[in-house]
Amino acid sequence: MTKIVVANRGEIAIRVMKTAKKMGIKTVAVYSTADRNALHVKYADEAVCIGEAASSQSYLRGDKIIEVCKKLNADAVHPGYGFLSENSQFAELCENNNIIFIGPKSKAIEMMGNKLAAKDAVKEYDIPMVPGTENAITDIEEAKKIATQIGFPILIKAAAGGGGKGMRVVEKESDFTSQMDRAISEAINAFGDGSVFIEKYVTKPRHIEIQVMADSHGNIIYVFERECSIQRRHQKVVEEAPSSILTPELRKRMGDAAVKVARACDYLGAGTVEFLLDEQLNFYFLEMNTRLQVEHPITEMISGLDLVELQIRVARGEELPMKQEDLKINGHAMELRVYAEDSMNDFLPNVGFLSKYQLPEGEGIRVDNGIEEGMDVPIYYDPMLSKLVTYGKTREEAIELMIKAIDNYHIEGVATTLPFGKFVMEHEAFRSGDFDTGFVKSYYNPEKMKAQLDIEAEIAAMIALKQYLADKKILRLPN
């Protein structure tokens, strides 16, 4: 493998390119007209414009990416996450054109891409699952009967879904029809498929995911867990590794279950098996993400592994260089997704011109970044600017370093999730480890947080004024 086309943009494109360069592999960036001056374009060895700003005309055009591979004699494509990373047709297109898709085979992507098919595939491995329907439903009356049998509250989920789309929690029977209508409509708009299924809603769950890595020689390892319970609109914002709640015994049981899921679909490369954990520490299989996760850096920090390097190595046929017993957890890592979102206004996207953009630096601080000062945050794509990661010997150390890093991350021109990240790090429920996926709903109060920020700004201004007057007085003193 001598040249890789990175079929993505932003921080993940740069992240992949850094490892490729370390391995002596040339990189090719693809970009849209909106990303002509983007950092990933500057960082690559070569770059090709593949279409207009809209992702449907650029980053989602698998045919154009294949053309670039052929024209520039690239051996492989790394899809990153999002866009074409879990598109089985694109993976198959690569296979048919003798281009290495750095990820699982198309059959595994297809199987795990549909939540019902995934559950069916792992059924024989005796992996615990949340009670619910085994088949997709579009008939609302039939669905209501099933929901009543399972017992409220229930969760309606899009069969082809992801990212919290087509998902509705229904507390009582009277709300069922309206919520079912909304879930089906949202699933059709997001995925072109209105099929949904029903699960018992696990109250106060924690979202725990296990990182797996598989080679083509039958070896599968799990690289511990990530805690992803701090979410807004069913999407993650803060992640940590390891989880503060897992015992070594539970970690092994969940890791072994994740390996079985990977084996069920003949998996290759990096993948993540997601579980719900209830208050009694029972875990239930949710789904498998057949790609590199956004939050992979925290796993790298505690394991010492480069997951992108392992992806590339197994994609070119190499055996994994380590066994399960070689892996150890060292320290603790936190990650905050820095989105251009207004956390004071329901986390709505807040794109615009970055008049100031200064990254925090220091030991134990890692920023996977995809943008720079003087650039516009485009409206066409996911509003993530970067991932802020901190590492410490203990959880407490990682939290304190995250607070310091947030304070030293200076952004002007757009609202971001930095203030929300600081709120989480300072909240007693998070610090104690006693939290679940309802954290935002239970504790987050934007009005109260805004008032606190105003007080802090006022204090900072008073300190600055006092210092200014003191300096002025010193300057006036006679020689």
* CA–CA dist 308, 326 (Å, integer): 19
Cα 62 to Cα 88: distance, rounded to the nearest angstrom:
11
DSSP 413-446: SS--SHHHHHHHHH-HHHHHT---TTHHHHH--H
- 169-187 burial, b at 16+ Cβ within 10 Å, e below that, comes to ebeeeeebeebbeebbebb
248 residue type, one letter:
P
The answer to whether 159 touches 114, Cβ cutoff 8 Å, is: yes
| Average pLDDT, consecutive stretches of 10 residues, N- to C-terminus, the chain (479 residues) | 97 98 98 96 98 96 98 98 96 97 96 87 88 82 88 89 79 91 87 87 94 98 98 92 97 97 96 95 94 97 98 98 98 98 92 96 97 94 96 98 98 96 97 96 82 68 76 65
Residue 3: in which H helix or E strand, if any? strand 3-6
CATH number of 206-446: 3.30.470.20
199 Cβ contact partners less than 8 Å away, ≥ 6 residues apart: 130, 131, 132, 133, 150, 154, 155, 157
8 A C-beta contact, residue 232 and residue 347: yes
pLDDT of residue 195: 86
The DSSP-derived string for 116-174 is: HHHHHHHGGGT--B-SB-SS-B--HHHHHHHHHHH-SSEEEEETT--TTTTEEEE-SGG
Question: What pLDDT, on a 0 to 100 scale, did the predictor assign at position 479?
Answer: 53
DSSP state of 203: S
Which pLDDT does position 322 carry in this prediction?
97
Residue whose tokens read 């969760």: 155
**pLDDT score, position 138:** 76
Q: Which residues of 61-99 are buried (b: 16+ CB within 10 A; e: fewer)?
A: bbebbbebbeeeebbbbbbbbbbbbbbbebbbbbeeeeb
Given this model, what pLDDT does residue 476 score? 65
- Residues designated as active site: 291
Angle 457-389-361 from CA coordinates, rounded to 5°: 65
Give the per-residue pLDDT at 454: 65
What are 155's strand-pairing partners? 169, 199
Task: Say if residues 178 and 149 touch (Cβ distance below 8 Å).
Answer: no
Domain ranges of the chain: 3-102, 131-200, 206-446
Per the CB < 8 A criterion, the answer to whether 244 and 250 are in contact is: no
Q: How far is residue 122's CA from residue 260's CA, in Å, rounded to a whole number?
A: 8
CA 166 to chain centre: 18
CB burial readout 274-313, b (16+ within 10 A) else e? bbbbeeeeebbbbbbbbbbbbbbbbbbbbbebbbbebbbb
Helix, strand and coil content of the chain, in percent to the nearest 5, comes to 40, 25, 35
- Alpha-carbon dihedral sign for residues 127, 130, 132, 135: negative
In the beta sheet, which residues pair with residue 369? 386
Handedness of CA 431, 434, 438, 443 (dihedral sign): negative
Closest-CA residue to 409 (of 426, 421, 397, 423): 421
Q: Do the two domains 3-102 and 206-446 of this chain adopt the same fold? A: no
Beta bridge partners of 287: 274
- State residue 133's pLDDT score: 83
Fold of 131-200: Dna Ligase; domain 1 (3.30.1490)
- Report DSSP letters for 308-353, one per residue: HHHHHHHHTTPPPS--GGG----SEEEEEEEESEETTTTTEE---B
**What long-range pairs does 169-175 form, CB within 8 A, spacing at least 24?**
169/201, 170/201, 173/144, 173/147, 173/148
DSSP 26-83: EEEEEEEGGGTT-HHHHHSSEEEEEE-SSGGGTTT-HHHHHHHHHHTT--EEE--SST
- 133: number of Cβ within 10 Å: 21
- Contacts of 306 by beta carbon, 8 Å cutoff, 6+ apart: 19, 22, 300
CATH of region 3-102, choose from 3.40.50.2300, 3.30.1330.30, 3.40.50.20, 3.30.70.20: 3.40.50.20
